[in-house]
Amino acid sequence: MTKKGFLEKLKTALDSNLSDAAVQEQIAFYKQYIEDEVRKGRLEEEVVEELGDPWAIARTIIDSAEIRGGTGETFSREPERRSAYEDPGARPNIHVFGIDTWWKKLLFILGIVGVFLLVIAVIGGIFSLLLPILIPLVLISLLFRLIDRRK
């Protein structure tokens, strides 16, 4: 099957179930994919054969659109964001994390307790490494002080 035949069958299968914009988006996607693969040196028929049956692809696209709520939109793209420097009247978007539900409060408290325990564990680990060295040093320094006082 050729690229043209594949895209026509796909368009026919999608036309009755999706919006025109969604159909055009899918057709453009598969057309671009086939063209990209052909540019890489593959045969058009080989690429189309690898894609499989256009009716099965259409069914998958339609099913996924229905799962998302039947909007007919097949992909959701994030709108372009402009920098505050580009638009002088733009206000920065600020999202404040509210602790308004019980599970958020619990998670916050558990996080604080976890950080506290982690700090204590690190300090305890440092002491456990240094005490075998520090205790003899302190005892030796006390011994020298006692000896110096007697003289």
Distance CA 29, CA 61 (A): 12
- Decide: helix, strand or coil at residue 76: coil
Percentage of the chain beyond pLDDT 70 is: 80
pLDDT at 76: 42
Q: Is 2 left (phi over 0), alpha (psi -120 to 50) or beta?
A: beta
CA distances for 5 relative to 42, 56, 73, angstroms: 18, 15, 24
Answer for the pair 30, 10: CB distance below 8 angstroms, yes or no: yes
Task: Show the DSSP H helices in 16-101 as ranges.
Answer: 20-39, 44-51, 54-67
The beta-strand segments (E) located in 59-124 are: none
pLDDT digits (tens, 9 = 90+) for 45-80: 998 898 888 888 888 888 888 777 654 444 444 444
pLDDT at res. 123:
96
Question: Taking a C-beta distance cutoff of 8 angstroms, is the pair 53, 5 a contact?
Answer: no
Domain ranges of the chain: 3-67, 99-151
Given a cut of 50, the residues of the chain with pLDDT beneath it are: 71-85
Q: Is the dihedral of CA 76, 44, 47, 16 positive or negative?
A: positive
Q: Quote the mean pLDDT of the chain.
A: 82
Alpha-carbon distance 72 to 19, whole Å?
A: 5
